[in-house]
Structure formats: structure tokens, C-alpha cells
Structure 1
Amino acid sequence: MTTKTSRVWAIGALVTLVTGLTACLKSSDVTPQEPSSYFYVANASSALTAIDFFDNDVKQTSSNGFSFLANTIYQTSTGVHTFKVKKLGGDSTMATATNVYDSLELTSLFIYDLPTYATGIREISENFTNLSSTKINVRFFNLSVDAPAVDVYLDNIKIDSTHSYEGNGNNFYPAFDQITASTTSTIKLTKAGSDSTIAQINATLAAGRTYTIYLGGRKAFTDSRKLNVAYITH
């Protein structure tokens, strides 16, 4: 099946170093490598400046927690996993999600603000088929409850228009668009239909690579949880 083959190729890119090191060992010393599941985890919840992230009740974050708008690649064993988000250093569970994961899947977990301003976890089983090797593969998620609809620019190329908050129901659209550009240096979000900049960051996005851009934060905040944009490199 094409989808599975593509996922195996993508996962292989993540474990090339491990495989290379194992190949240097004598066959009698090699312990069979257990299958792993891989996750892209992004924190767009504006409830706190940092959170704790748990997998099957084992804390995976340092004492500094998982900062707002940060993202990371997380590797774990296959099987049933319950992910929990808790207040930094506390016992109060803010969000939870449980599923069965195998070694043929790459999954994205987005921690984000629900319409009620509570915290939720949205899971996307990634499909990296039909991506371009000559264009920038990119998608955008508006995860800010109170941000206006936005236009999204890579440098001066508009890649999305009037994109509203998508935390209602199943509005996450997982497909990637292909943008004709060799590299970009800026991601800019403006209020839809205007030149008013909502958020902007420097970012080098390259042709042949795949990215998720996401907006988080709240209009009223002036600390690190103010409206801002970040991106995942897949």
C-alpha cells in the first residue's frame, strides 16, 4: 500500500543514525530493535506559559516544562498510550487522549485551546504521500480562539486566505499545499483582507521539505502567550 510505504520511508529517515550504529556491532551482540511509534508534539495551549506532558503516567518533560508554542519529536514504544497534559509541577490534568499506535504511522499531537478556553489534544495520523520534492509542502492551523481570521504569507507569497480558528469539531484539514519557492525567510500573518500584521517570525523553509505552521495565543495577553506563530519541520 502506497501510504504505508511512504510512512516507512519517513520513519526510516528518523532512525538512520540508530540503524547505522547498530550495523557496526557484531551480529552476536545485536539485540533486536523493538518497533517504535513517532510523534510530532506541539503546544499551542495558552492556558499556561509551560505545561507537563505525560505518557502512560510517566512524565516526559523537564522541570522547565513544555513551553507555549514549542514543538518536538517524541519516540516511544508501539501499543496503547494515554497522553496527559498537566499544570507545570502539579497534579491537575488539563487534557488527555488515548489510542493505539503502531510502527507504520507518524502522528501529530496538537495541544491547543478549545472554544471554552479549556485545553484539548487533537491527533492527526499523518499521510506524507503526494508531497513535492521541488516545492515547499506546507499547511496552516489557526489554533487561537479569539484571533481574527488571518491571511498567511511566506515572504510575499500568500498561501492561505481568511483562515479562521479551527478548534471547533473536526475542522483540522491535514493535507499539505505545494508552494512554488526555493526558500523563504519570513512567515507573516495578517488580519484577513488587510495589511495589519498579527504575528511574524523569521523562518527558513526549503523546497522539498514539509512544514506545519500554527498560530496560538490570545489577543489580550502581553506575555509569552500573546498571539504568535511557530512551525514544525516534518
Structure 2
Amino acid sequence: MSTSALQVARTGLDAQAERMRIIANNLANVNTTAFQRDRAEFATLAYQMVTAAGARSAGDNQYATGLNLGTGVRLTGTGRITSQGSINTTGNNLDLAIEGEGYFQIQRPDGSTGYSRAGNFHLSSEGKVVTSDGMPVMPEITIPDGAQSITIGQDGTVSVTVSGQTEPQEVGKLELARFVNPAGLQALGNNLYAETGASGTAQTGPANAEGRGAIRQGALEASNVNVVQELVDMIETQRAYEVNSKMIQATDEMLRNANQQL
């Protein structure tokens, strides 16, 4: 008996183990601000053609179906689900949520631009609006010392009220980036994504315009992970792993019996 069945089952074990890792990462980030869940995507490996469909069998007769033997499965990618997470009100002036499409622009330490939907921002010692890791939001926004209130409009306009003044003054404007294929962004960790050839070039501009979402102050976008769905997927993956494991055991027993009989 050929050992190809062992190889096919092994690819199934590897694929299901990788899927379980993706599910585990989704569940681990269920409370991560604006996290977007991943989905495992599979494809069959190359087929071994034994008999071609349509080939002559005898005389004028032809094989109707042919004989093709599969060689297993592989993980082709992780499709990111970019659906909107629920918006939770926090009351913090520097907590921002995006309602609709778009990403905040973050300046990374190497000078490149990262993109994020996590809007839990803070003020640095210099008054700059930064992430929890201290990376500044782009375009750079600086809140003057002594500002009593911060107001951020749906279009990203940042206004502050300074002690001694009755009228608020505008100190900057946040811009959002939009992508043709946001699922093609590369995940970098720390709630950041990087532009890739698959995502397309960032289309930046004011919020609440040209397809970009509106900014909601005093709120944060929650993770779009559905715990119930992930648990169902986990059970399904576990069962598929067990079936492939049993396939290896069954094939091993059949080979052992064949060796004992010969």
C-alpha cells in the first residue's frame, strides 16, 4: 500500500493546527481596541492525474470522469475581516472611534507611516497627541499648555478652549487614510498596519468625506471578534484535527497488516 495517505493526512494536521493558531489569536485579542479578526483560507495541493477525463478507454469509448488523486491541503492566507466593531462610549476626550472606513495615520520610530483604527490616544510631555507607545498621530497635533477642553469634530478638526479666552481655537485637523483593499494591509502588531502592494496606496484626507468614516470623540471601537463564532470554529477545527489523526492511525494499521501478511 502506498504511503501517500499518510502524507495527505499530515498536511491536514498541519493545516488544522495553523487554523487553531489563528482562532487562538482572535480570542486572545477579543478585548483589543479595534482589532479585526482573521480567517484561515485553505486550498488543495496539486492533484496526481492517473487517468485523464475524456481519454479513450477502449475503441470509441472515453473515460467520463478520469482519475485524479489529491495530495492534501495547505493554508493559503489569512483573510482579515474588516467589518465595523461596536462603538463603546468612554467619555475620554482623547478616545476616538472611526464610524465607517478609514485608519488613523501614525508615525513609526523609523519615520515610516503606520495605520491604525485604535483611537485610544494620549498627550506627551510636549502636548502632542500620541499613541500609548508614544508614537505621534499624523498630521501632528499639539495641544497648548493650559487647555481646559479639547473638542474633535466628525471631520477631524481639533479645537481647544484656553484659559482666559471665550472662543475655542483650532489647533489642527486629523486626517484619515482609506485603502481600496484594506484586507491587504500587513499587520505589524501594536494595533498597526503597513501599506502593501495588495492594499493599494493610502488615500488620505479629511474624515467624513470621500468615503472616509466620521470621527466620534469620547468613544472607542471594540474588537469585531465574535466569541461564539470562534468557539464553534475551534470545535470544528479540533474535530477535523482528530479525524486526520485517526486517518494516520488507520493507514498505519493497514500498512502493518499488509507487511504481516506478505
Q: Into which bin does the TM-score normalised by the smaller protein fall?
A: under 0.3
TM-score (norm. length: structure 1): 0.22
Q: Which has the higher contact order (CA 8 A, sep 6+)?
A: 2
Name the one with the larger strand percent: 1
TM-score (norm. length: structure 2): 0.20
The structure with the largest alpha-carbon Rg is 2
